[in-house]
Amino acid sequence: MPATATVTRPVAPDTHHDFTHCKRLQVGVVSDTHGYIDPDICNQLKGCDLILHAGDIGSSRVLHQLREICENVIAVQGNNDCTEKWPAQEHQELMGIGKLAEIKLPGGSIVLMHGDAYGMPGRRHAEMRQHFADSTAIVYGHSHMLVCDQEARPWVLNPGAAGKSRTRGGASCLHMSVSAGQWEVSEHRAPQQKANGTTVQAS
């Protein structure tokens, strides 16, 4: 049998960010842009106080676009965020991006990661909850599937793909409204463009 590559799970955050001084925050969550972010998603992120990117960014251009929308952008590397796939002139910026981030917010905290180290879908959320039991929410990407698992704490959230690669029904993102007394999450999916140029609204 061919050898299988082992993905090491990050055990501790590379970066820590504290926004607990804020009374209320509007947080936009994206992932898996692979070098391109859908314009509709950019519009949805306007007005956010903080944007999180859960990896497979694809190029620094995406991060620059997000910073034009919001000055507070926190991103982690995905399995495709490597020197082999990023332009040479962007390697320095790539090396400054960690694999796991902890974000402290009013009323709780978020762990941000790409999630490629958690293989089997049936066990993925249970394992994440076990490893990061003290967090309020776990945000990951990789699967390109929009998921809001709020059946237990911590919540496990995946914004889906915000670009044009394997969007599974249209580019998507999450919006979180966070305060000390309440956390709320909503989903957004961009309209899809058919080959004939017609627009299909997401259901």
Read off the pLDDT of residues 79-120 as tens digits, 9 standing for 90 and up: 999 999 998 999 999 999 999 999 999 999 999 999 999 977
Residue-wise burial string across 85-110, b where 16 or more C-beta atoms lie within 10 A, e elsewhere: ebeeeeeeebeebbbbbbbbbbebbb
Would you state the pLDDT for residue 167?
A: 79
Q: What is the CATH number of the domain that holds 153?
A: 3.60.21.10
> In whole angstroms, what is the distance from residue 172 CA to residue 106 CA?
25
Give the pLDDT confidence of 127-153 residue by residue, as tens digits: 999 999 999 999 999 999 999 999 999
Instruction: Please report whether residue 201 resides in a domain.
Output: no
Instruction: Please report whether residue 26 resides in a domain.
Output: yes
> Could you tell me the pTM of the whole model?
0.89
**Total of domains in the chain:** 1
Name the residue range of residue 108's domain. 15-190
> In whole angstroms, what is the distance from residue 132 CA to residue 127 CA?
9
